[in-house]
Homo-oligomer: A and B are copies of this chain.
Amino acid sequence: MMADGRGFERSEFESRMSRAQSEMTSRNLDAVVITAPHNWRYFAGFATQFWESPTRPWFLILPRDGEPIAVIPTIGEPGLAKTWVSDIRTWPAPQPQDDGVSLMAQVLGDCPRTYGRIGWEMGRESIVRMPIADFDRIRAACAGLEFADASPLIWRLRMVKSQAEISRIERACRIGSDAYAALPAQLSAGMNEHDIARIFRAELTRQGADAIPFMAVTAGAGGYDQIIVGPNDRDLADGDVLFIDLGATYDGYFCDFDRNFACGRIDDDTSRTQDIVWRATEAGIAAARPGATPADLAAAMVSVMADAGASGGNVGRLGHGLGLQLTEPPSNMPGEETVLEPGMVMTIEPGMDYGDGKMLVHEENVVITEDGCRLLTTRAPREMWQIS
């Protein structure tokens, strides 16, 4: 499991389970039920892309005492048996008339009760991955058991990364950084955005990315107006700003950072904005340290942009946590008072509106250390990379 840095020791999962169990006691939960892909990977070490099929629900029950219990479709048993989870109960899914509902009701009913409360992924940035009609059925079948929100518990655990997790994110960031650096020499005016995406995908694969779940490619004359749709069927032209945002993974862990490229000569307004946002990023990195809050990070970045007369961006926040998902809590925004601590991995992502409906967004990834933070990405140059 450990060759080439992939997979985790059993002790990593035992530690996650033990932390979860402590949190269950302090939050008065008898168990937590996991249904979502990234939580499955976090607690069970189960790595698959089979989640692309919406057909079958999967359940992992983490009791407050003892080992995890998997309640899964038969198709998953031989694969899951290779993980540290040993208590595996199956049903022959798909079975539309009762797809794990009665089996789950029985397993939850058998769970030792102290508080009469079962946690599910019900809250912020969480999804219960199963038909909600079946969730309602299980809830009705578990009379006397309160279904409570376990997402604060789950995010509390996932938010602080182990050294093993940080090394995966760092590797994903290196792969992304090296692939970005190799890109300007391969791009030129006249290329279609889809071709640019294909070239970048090929480069990332060559550099060792396991998967590329997120890649936005968009360009516009003198700047772009949004950052989440694209590539589109548009040819890169002289005077364009090209924006690429990347979420690539290594061993399941993401990098998430963007880069801006100037195609030929860009106008002075864009160049001026580029420098402001670059300096805002510097301020965000400087502010990232234990004891600071994501609100502090946001304030540091906003301050640089406001001093330069900017009105701010419309993306709603200026960065976020990063790990098994492209974005994780917390968010760099006013009101987010989670205290940063060593092991948290954050994106530093200032965005600024300028000109006529244009925006410029920068992004780097850092890990909080004992006395500050360490940059995981290769810092973007102060002036945009040039494409000719």
| A98 touches B (CB below 8 Å) | no
Q: Judging by beta carbons under 8 Å apart, are A326 and B52 in contact?
A: yes
Given A54-B327, A132-B128, A216-B48, answer yes or no on A94-B202 (Cβ-Cβ < 8 Å).
no
- Please indicate the chain B residues that have their CB under 8 angstroms from the CB of A4 in the complex: 192, 194, 233
Complex: A11 Cα to B339 Cα, angstroms: 51
20 further A-B contacts with Cβ under 8 Å, apart from A1-B233, A120-B132, are A3-B233, A4-B194, A49-B247, A52-B213, A52-B214, A55-B125, A55-B327, A73-B316, A74-B316, A78-B226, A82-B229, A92-B316, A95-B316, A123-B131, A127-B129, A128-B132, A194-B210, A201-B205, A202-B206, A213-B213
Q: Judging by beta carbons under 8 Å apart, are A215 and B327 in contact?
A: no
Which A residues have a C-beta under 8 Å from some C-beta of B?
Answer: 1, 3-4, 6-7, 46-50, 52-56, 73-79, 82, 92-96, 120-133, 135, 149, 151, 192, 194, 197-198, 201-202, 205-206, 208, 210-216, 225-229, 233, 247, 314-317, 320, 325-328, 331, 333, 335, 357
Q: Judging by beta carbons under 8 Å apart, are A50 and B228 in contact?
A: yes
A129: min CB distance to chain B, Å: 6
**Closest 8 A/B residue pairs (Cβ):** A79-B229, A78-B226, A53-B327, A52-B326, A50-B228, A122-B133, A54-B125, A79-B226
- Please indicate the chain B residues that have their CB under 8 angstroms from the CB of A123 in the complex: 131, 133
A44: min CB distance to chain B, Å: 11
Complex A-B: 9 CB contacts under 8 Å: A54-B325, A55-B331, A74-B314, A75-B314, A75-B316, A78-B225, A93-B316, A96-B335, A133-B149
A73: min CB distance to chain B, Å: 6
Complex: A198 Cα to B212 Cα, angstroms: 12
- Please indicate the chain B residues that have their CB under 8 angstroms from the CB of A48 in the complex: 216, 228-229
Q: Judging by beta carbons under 8 Å apart, are B131 and A126 in contact?
A: yes
Complex: A211 Cα to B217 Cα, angstroms: 13
Complex: A126 Cα to B213 Cα, angstroms: 21
Q: Is the interface of A mostly helix, strand, loop or mixed?
A: loop
Q: Judging by beta carbons under 8 Å apart, are A132 and B131 in contact?
A: no
Complex: A237 Cα to B205 Cα, angstroms: 24
| Closest B residue to A2 using CB positions | B233
Q: Judging by beta carbons under 8 Å apart, are B7 and A233 in contact?
A: yes
Q: Judging by beta carbons under 8 Å apart, are B52 and A325 in contact?
A: yes
Q: Judging by beta carbons under 8 Å apart, are A76 and B129 in contact?
A: no
Given A4-B194, A202-B205, A205-B205, answer yes or no on A49-B125 (Cβ-Cβ < 8 Å).
no
| Closest B residue to A336 using CB positions | B96
| Closest B residue to A359 using CB positions | B78
- Please indicate the chain B residues that have their CB under 8 angstroms from the CB of A357 in the complex: 78
- Please indicate the chain B residues that have their CB under 8 angstroms from the CB of A49 in the complex: 213-216, 247
A182: min CB distance to chain B, Å: 15
Q: Judging by beta carbons under 8 Å apart, are A132 and B125 in contact?
A: no
Complex: A52 Cα to B229 Cα, angstroms: 13
- Please indicate the chain B residues that have their CB under 8 angstroms from the CB of A94 in the complex: 316-317, 331, 333
- Please indicate the chain B residues that have their CB under 8 angstroms from the CB of A92 in the complex: 314, 316
A217: min CB distance to chain B, Å: 11
Complex: A125 Cα to B121 Cα, angstroms: 18
Quick one: which of A1, A55, A82, A129 has the most chain B CB within 10 A? A55
| Closest B residue to A321 using CB positions | B55
Complex: A92 Cα to B198 Cα, angstroms: 33
| Closest B residue to A120 using CB positions | B132
- Please indicate the chain B residues that have their CB under 8 angstroms from the CB of A335 in the complex: 96
Complex: A229 Cα to B54 Cα, angstroms: 16
- Please indicate the chain B residues that have their CB under 8 angstroms from the CB of A50 in the complex: 214, 216, 228-229
- Please indicate the chain B residues that have their CB under 8 angstroms from the CB of A130 in the complex: 127
